Each structure stands twice: as C-alpha cells, then as structure tokens.
Structure 1
Amino acid sequence: MAKNSGRPNTSTAATLILLNKPNGFVSQFSGDDRNLSQLISVAGVYPAGRLDKDSEGLLLLTDNGTLQHRISHPQHKLTKSYWVQVEGEIDASALQQLISGVVLKDGPASALSATAITEPANLWPRDPPVRVRNSIPTSWLDISINEGRNRQIRRMTAAAGFPTLRLIRHCIGEWSLSDIASGQYQTKILSATEIRHLSGVPNTGLL
C-alpha cells in the first residue's frame, strides 16, 4: 500500500504514474472503501487532477509539484479526451451543439471536438455493468475539452438531450491509456531536463 500524505515535492526529476482508474474508485488515497491506495504501490505520488468516482480511465499522478501544477491547473488548458456512451442515437445536430456550446448552471460550456464513434476496441467490462434499456439504443462519442468543471461532460451531454451512461477518459495532453488495463498503471520517469523544458504539457515531444 502506498503512503501518500501532503503535497508532491518540487524537486526537478519526476515520477509520473499513468493509472487506468476503474469505476467506483475515488481519486484520492483515503476517505473511501475503494481508493487509490488499493491500486498504486508507488509511494509519494499525488493526483494531478481528478476523475469522478463513477468515471473511468486515465488519471495522472506525480511526485513533482511543478508537473502536478502544469497538468491540473486550468490556466494551462490541457486537452482531455473522453469516450462517452450516451443514451439515444446521437445525430450531427447534437454533435454540433456540443461544439457550439450548451448552457450549464455555472455558465456556457463547449467541446473542442465531438465525434460519433463505434464502441472502442478491446474495451474492458464495467463493474457494475451499465444499466441500459432494451427499447432505447445507445451511442458512443469521442469528446475533447480543455476545461475541468465538475461533471462537465455528463452535464453537457444531458443538456444536449443525451444522458451519459459510461464515461472513460483516454487522453490527457500527449499521455494516453494506450494498452493499460483497467486497475493497472505505468510508471514514467521524467528527467530534470525534460521538466525544465516543459513550457506546457501538450506537444512537448517528451512523452
């Protein structure tokens, strides 16, 4: 079990963890029966951002404060991409609505891109399974945003008339799930030179 307390350090070298968070786990090391301490055996890392308990996919953790800030702070507008299963047959007008923008309680929100896709290949089963109604079809989308408001994707698809059934984050900047299985993680070590040249995470060519 990893011991994680306090904030990550600000030394130059960095450990970066790419975790495929399963459904039902919180994005912290305590406070719930199913938390990160049950998934990660690397001590001293801290989540760079969060992923809702009922969402799955890529969560980044690091022991470097500079990297943590550049990944998680809204000012860097890091692109995050999601596979989204919604209720109903999505159409072109709804996709355009997501891109043009919908009005949420905390203000307007828009996607950088929103496309209809087939179910992602080699997708792991969700535990518990998504509850679907046999009489209502579902659709899969690939949506990218550069904000991180609370439950933003779910609220956006609902505002467009297509409630989210399953939400999987597959990319953050240049980092992706790749072939990481659900509940597993990969460890990357970024050198002092790599950290020093990070003017922003996207398109650095370092990863």
Structure 2
Amino acid sequence: MPLIALNKPFGTICQFSPHETRASLGDWVKTPGVYPAGRLDADSEGLLLLTDDGALQTRIAEPRHKLVKRYWAQVEGAPDEAVLKRLAKGIDLGDYITRPCRANFVEPPATLWPRTPPIRYRAAIPTTWIELAITEGKNRQVRRMTAAVGFPTLRLVRAGIGALDVFALGLAPGESMELPPRAPWDGIG
C-alpha cells in the first residue's frame, strides 16, 4: 500500500493516461496501481499524494476530514491586510461560499524552483506571495478566491498537505518519493 509524494510540475495533467499535448502523471510516477488523492489543475504545481488505498485517498482528499492543504499564490498586485482578512473569513464565489481559512503573506523560500515557462513580468505591476491554508479543495478554488478579491493568481504552488511540506521533502519538480506507511501526518497514513 504505497503512499507517494510527487512534486507535480507545471503543465502536467492529473491523470495517468497519455495526453496529446501535455505531460501526465505517468511521465513522472512509474509505480503501478496508484491514483492521486485529490487533484491539481495543469496550471498548478507542487505537492500531490498518490496511493492505491481508497480509504487513505478519501482521508486526504475529502473536505469532511478537514485536512489542511497549504497553497502559495503569487498574485498580481499588492493586497493589504484587509484583503487577507476577507480571504480568511470565506469568499462568496457565486456557486458556493468558501470555508474560513488561514491567509497570510509569505516570502518564497530560496528553494522555490523556477517555473517553466515563467510567469509574465510587468514592470509597472508588482506581485505578492500569499499563503492560503484551506480544508476544501474545490475546482480552481484558490484562483477563484484571489480573483474575487481583485488579485488574480499568476502562479500557484501547493506547498503542503497536512504536516507534509514539499520543500522539507526536498522534491524538485517531477521528483517523487515513497513515504513510510502509517506515519502520523495529521491523519494521513
């Protein structure tokens, strides 16, 4: 019953079957019979967990288990503390209201890898990194949240799931590692 941590590269789709124009999980993970526990869209990068254990997949991915997922969003513009408070309180996205979350400013670590291709650079418009720690994970949720408060996401990195952190694991984009079974990672295992 393997549990695999993958640093999913930008542009990779969260499926194992080959795709005509994009890399898929099968390009990076060779362990047979595992599936992603949750998803990251092709334009997002960072920590993705894979397992063959359906119950473990559910504990990782289902919002009812309230496992925290930490995302680092590089947003266009310079939000202030009031914007962070709005994000933390929950945002009405029209089709649902997000759960309260933790939102704060972060400085990306020196170990943050460059994205290929890089985000667009505009000298007159600053960018800011914020961390959102959410317990949901609906389709494009973080991107929709930052856009709803007027600061669209330019780059999105899932930095952590529960107590696991992609930087602490030391995984470069495309690298994966098998994690020990039954480790106490905030309910994972």
Above 0.5 in TM-score?
yes
The CA deviation string for residues 4-55 of structure 1, in whole angstroms up to 9 with x for no partner, is xxxxxxxxxx210000000000011015231011001211111111001000
Q: 1:202 is matched by which residue type in structure 2?
A: D
**Aligned counterparts, 1:7-156, within 5 A:** 14-32=1-19, 33-156=22-145
* 4+ aligned runs moved over 3 Å, structure 1: none
Note the residue ranges of structure 2 that are not aligned, 5 or more in a row: none
For 2:162, the equivalent position in structure 1 comes to 173
Give the alignment's Cα RMSD to 1 decimal.
1.7
Q: Distance in 2 between matches of 1:182 and 1:151?
A: 21
Whose radius of gyration is greater, 1 or 2?
1
Tell whether 2:178 aligns with 1:187: yes
Whether the 8 Å contact between 2:8 and 2:173 is mirrored in structure 1 is yes
TM-score, normalised on structure 2? 0.91
Number of aligned pairs? 185
Aligned residue for 1:103, secondary structure, equals coil
Whether the 8 Å contact between 2:9 and 2:46 is mirrored in structure 1 is yes
TM-score, normalised on structure 1? 0.84
For 1:8, the equivalent position in structure 2 comes to none
Tell whether 2:183 aligns with 1:202: no
Aligned residue for 1:71, secondary structure, equals helix
Q: 1:72 is matched by which residue type in structure 2?
A: A
What is the deviation of 1:108? 1.3
Aligned residue for 1:70, secondary structure, equals helix
* Cα pair distance change 1:110/1:94, threshold 3 Å: farther
Note the residue ranges of structure 1 that are not aligned, 5 or more in a row: 1-13
The CA deviation string for residues 159-195 of structure 1, in whole angstroms up to 9 with x for no partner, is 11110000000111122212111110111231xxx38
* Cα pair distance change 1:63/1:203, threshold 3 Å: closer
| Percent of aligned pairs with the same amino acid | 49
Aligned residue for 2:180, secondary structure, equals strand
Q: Distance in 1 between matches of 2:99 and 2:59?
A: 22
Q: 2:174 is matched by which residue type in structure 1?
A: G
